[in-house]
């Protein structure tokens, strides 16, 4: 969950398969220092992708493919709303993916961008990780759309309406947020869902426990704590039924090695092995989105240009606060594409 107001455990079995950046690339390729990043839920807005569709057939082709895969005119909902329907998790997730992939296809056609040649790695925030994998060739656009529809529906259905909550802690670090969550839990679920960086940490869990965390926060030096207007408590252990559903869905989908490494949210490390990627996606449903660590790890590996592709500029702002000295920009409109450097 993106907001503009996001010890002692056994390591996941796929942790040992996280690869150093460049494990599948030649050394000379790493004169490149660009990462493409893809936004998560919260960046959606009525009108998203409309200008691209009006100007570029490549964008129209992506939207048509997603509409066909879902058996729904999702693009019309993206362009015209209503916002209440677009914001539904089952719609917002594939919509954001579609807008990002439409932008990427136009960049490829108009500016000569070649992901394998011009980009060192990719990453995405929560659902944006599926977008990143689709961009890198692991999933087809149709499969990514169907997976995100399943994911959104499964996450919405995992917890009874009103039983869970999420809260943003502004001016918090992950360690303090974790301590607040542990104190507030009192036998219920209250966990760190997103470590977004820039002093943004999001908690998720049982409603009463999250409300206790909000009440505790001012006394722990947190600048502001606010309950979020969300439909379910994402990225916490209450999402276990959704994780099980995604495990079944992912097994049924063809997955290919990405053309560039993809940073996994739950590991903050690059992966190229489809088996490890599948396991990381399942773990992500109940695990913490470690966006701050992902950006820091990419910067430590030499990335100094971050390009956010799709709707909004939330990740661009977070990168600027996490990776001092790195440049960050967002591309999502025809004007942005015209200003983007030409490749090739």
- Give the catalytic positions in this structure: 126, 235
Q: What is the DSSP letter of 11?
A: P
Q: In angstroms, rounded to a whole number, what is the distance separating the alpha carbons of residues 98 and 92? A: 10
What strands, in cross-sheet order, belong to the sheet with 34-38? 269-271, 262-264, 121-124, 34-38, 305-309, 327-331
Q: In angstroms, rounded to a whole number, what is the distance separating the alpha carbons of residues 210 and 216? A: 10
59: left (phi over 0), alpha (psi -120 to 50) or beta: alpha
Q: Is 170 exposed, middle or buried (0-12, 13-18, 19+ CB in 10 A)?
A: middle
Q: In angstroms, rounded to a whole number, what is the distance separating the alpha carbons of residues 182 and 204? A: 12
| Token pair in block for residue 80 | 């015209």
Which residues does residue 308 pair with via DSSP β-bridges, in sequence order?
A: 37, 330
| Token pair in block for residue 287 | 């695990």
């Amino acid at each position: 969950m993106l907001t503009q107001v996001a010890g002692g455990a056994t390591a996941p079995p796929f942790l040992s398969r996280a690869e150093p950046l460049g494990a599948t690339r030649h050394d000379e390729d790493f004169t490149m220092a660009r990462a493409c990043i893809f936004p998560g839920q919260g960046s959606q807005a009525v009108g998203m992708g409309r200008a691209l569709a009006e100007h570029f057939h490549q964008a129209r082709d992506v939207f048509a493919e997603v509409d066909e895969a879902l058996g729904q005119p999702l693009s019309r909902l993206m362009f015209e709303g209503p916002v209440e329907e677009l914001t539904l998790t089952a719609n917002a997730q594939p919509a954001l993916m579609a807008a990002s992939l439409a932008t990427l296809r136009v960049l490829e056609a108009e500016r000569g961008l070649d992901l394998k040649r011009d980009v060192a790695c990719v990453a995405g925030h929560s659902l944006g990780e599926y977008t990143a994998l689709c961009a890198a060739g692991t999933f087809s656009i149709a499969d990514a759309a169907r997976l995100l529809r399943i994911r959104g529906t499964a996450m919405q259905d995992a917890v009874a309406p009103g039983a869970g909550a999420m809260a943003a802690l502004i001016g918090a670090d992950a360690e303090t947020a974790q301590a607040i969550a542990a104190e507030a839990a009192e036998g219920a679920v209250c966990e760190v869902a997103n470590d977004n960086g820039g002093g943004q940490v999001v908690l998720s869990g049982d409603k009463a426990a999250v409300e206790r965390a909000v009440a505790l926060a001012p006394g722990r030096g947190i600048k502001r704590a606010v309950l979020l207007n969300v439909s379910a408590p994402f990225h916490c252990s209450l999402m276990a039924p959704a994780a099980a559903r995604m495990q079944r869905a992912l097994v049924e989908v063809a997955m290919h090695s990405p053309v560039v490494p993809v940073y996994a949210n739950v590991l903050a490390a690059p992966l190229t092995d489809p088996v490890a990627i599948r396991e990381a996606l399942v773990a992500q449903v109940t695990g913490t989105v470690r966006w701050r660590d992902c950006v820091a790890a990419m910067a430590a590996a030499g990335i100094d240009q971050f390009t956010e592709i799709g709707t909004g500029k939330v990740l661009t702002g977070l990168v600027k606060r996490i990776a001092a000295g790195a440049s960050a920009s967002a591309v999502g409109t025809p004007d942005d594409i015209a200003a983007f450097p030409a490749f090739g």
